[in-house]
Structures are given as C-alpha cells and as structure tokens.
Amino acid sequence: MPSIISSLNPWLVAVALNTVLLGIVFLAPKKLLTTAGVFHAWFLGVLIWGTLGWQGYLVVMFYFLVGSAVTRIGMEQKEAAGIAEKRSGARGPENVWGSALTGAICAAGVLFVQGVGAQGITPLLLLGYVASFATKLSDTCASEVGKAYGKRTFLITTLQPVARGTEGAVSLEGTLAGVVGSIAIALVAWGVGIIDLTGAAFCAIAAFIGTNLESVIGATLQSEFDWMTNEVVNIFNTIIGAIAAVVLALIWRWFSLGGAGIS
C-alpha cells in the first residue's frame, strides 16, 4: 500500500474509498447490493478500514466478491427449483450484518483494546475476525455449490437423502467447495499479514466446524423458531467459527508453553 495513503487519517480514507466503491456498486447494472444494503455496507467498510486498515478491508472484500460470485452459480437452475437466494443474490442489510456482525465486533474490539492498552488480545481478535469470514464464505460456497451441483444431498443429523436446498442438507460437492473457500480467504489474510500460517490453519478448521454446526442448527432448531431466520443462523455460524479459532489458538499456545499457562 502506497505510503502516502498509509500516512493519511484512516477514517478519512475509509469514508472516501467506500463512498467511491459503493457508489460504483450502486450504479452498476448488475445489483450486488440493494439500496439499503449499500448504505449498511458503507458503514461496515468504513469501520473495517478505520480499525484494521487495508489488510482487514481486503479480507472482507474478498469475502463479498467471492461470495457474491458463488451465489450466482447455477442461478437459473436454482431459481427454477425455488432454492435460489432472494433478489437473485443481491444483499440487503440483513445479509450484510448476518455475514459480518461477528467480524465487525472483532474489528471494533481491536480498536477498544488498543485504546485501553491491552494490545496482547489483538492477535486473538484478528484471528476471530478472519475466522468469522472464513466460516461464512465456507458456508456460502458449501450451500450454493451444493444446491447447484450436489449429486446426492443428505440431512446432516440423520444422513437420510433429502432434496437440494433443504435446511441442514450437505453434499460432498458443497463440503469440498466450503473447504476450498475457507482456505482461500485464510490464505489471503495470511498473505497480508493479519494472521500467521498456523492461524490460517485454525481458521480453516474453525470454518469447517462452524459450517457443519450451522447445518445442524438448520436441520434441528431453525424450523422451531420464527425468529431464527437464515441471517440469524449466519450470525451464530460466524460466532461459532470465531470462537472455535480462538479456542484452537489458546490450546496451541498452552501446549507450546508446555502447559505452563497462557500469557
């Protein structure tokens, strides 16, 4: 990143950059976001750049672009079957925060701990940040590829064959796509220096855990509660992924220290 940009106030850069980029998205003929979704994404983008800089912003942009592209795979086929995302995949506010609320909290947490002089917690918050988006991209890839190309889909809780698009359904094709998606975004985060390579592995493992537990929630609890929409389930999904990655990191650190403690 050019030093002239790095030397500017990050919040001013965040406002200017997101205004330009989301203005382009708003005017583009192919809608990736609804009108309300653009404003919510603008706020999210400002928060991420202002707290985590271009490195954190690149991670969320990677998620958004890849996730949007994957959602459109086999769109005509999925629409004909009635299992496509609503609005042909255009994200609204509920989608923005269902996917990014956990990551936004982690990013805001980085700003808070730096303000109170507790920078030692920052690596764990950054790990949780990346893991939340790795988990959501894994879920998106698994769901959308599974609905488009899954030859055999099974309910995760019983392994009984079910139709594509059934809540809690999994497929080999979707599962593999989810693994690839989580590894890809974890490597992006490693490449820009947010996490180390061990952290990238933790994110991929956590994403696998979170994605499969999300399927369990979809198969068991989602139909029982009206308030448990897909977006709410996505929040649980990303929280599970972020917590799983942090727990894995703490366990790894504990063993690395010979069980002497965590500092």
Residue numbers of the domain that contains 32? 7-256
Asked whether residue 61 is assigned to any structural domain, the reply reads yes
**Separation of alpha carbons 171 and 161, rounded Å:** 10
Contact in structure between 199 and 247 (CB atoms under 8 Å): no
Asked whether residue 100 is assigned to any structural domain, the reply reads yes
Predicted local distance difference test score (pLDDT) of residue 26 = 83
Share of the chain above pLDDT 70, in %: 90
Question: Confidence class of residue 81 from pLDDT cuts 50, 70 and 90?
Answer: low
Residue 228 predicted with pLDDT over 80: yes
pTM: 0.89
Reference 242, options 165, 166, 135; nearest CA is 135
Asked whether residue 190 is assigned to any structural domain, the reply reads yes
Average pLDDT score over the chain:
88
Asked whether residue 1 is assigned to any structural domain, the reply reads no
Q: How many residues does the chain have?
A: 263
Asked whether residue 263 is assigned to any structural domain, the reply reads no
Token pair, residue 46, equals 């400002």
Residue-wise pLDDT for 84-124, tens only, equals 566 566 788 999 999 999 999 999 999 999 877 777 899 99
Token pair, residue 23, equals 């203005």
Asked whether residue 113 is assigned to any structural domain, the reply reads yes
Asked whether residue 215 is assigned to any structural domain, the reply reads yes
82 contacts: CB under 8 Å, gap ≥ 6: 165
**Separation of alpha carbons 136 and 171, rounded Å:** 17
Q: How many domains does the chain have?
A: 1
Predicted local distance difference test score (pLDDT) of residue 53 = 94
Token pair, residue 166, equals 């059934």
**Separation of alpha carbons 13 and 124, rounded Å:** 26
Lowest mean pLDDT among 89-98, 141-150, 170-179, 194-203: 89-98
Reference 110, options 37, 51, 189, 69; nearest CA is 51
Task: Convert 91-119 to b/e letters by CB count within 10 Å (16 or more is b).
Answer: bbbbbbbbbbbbbbbbbbbbeebeeeeee
Asked whether residue 223 is assigned to any structural domain, the reply reads yes
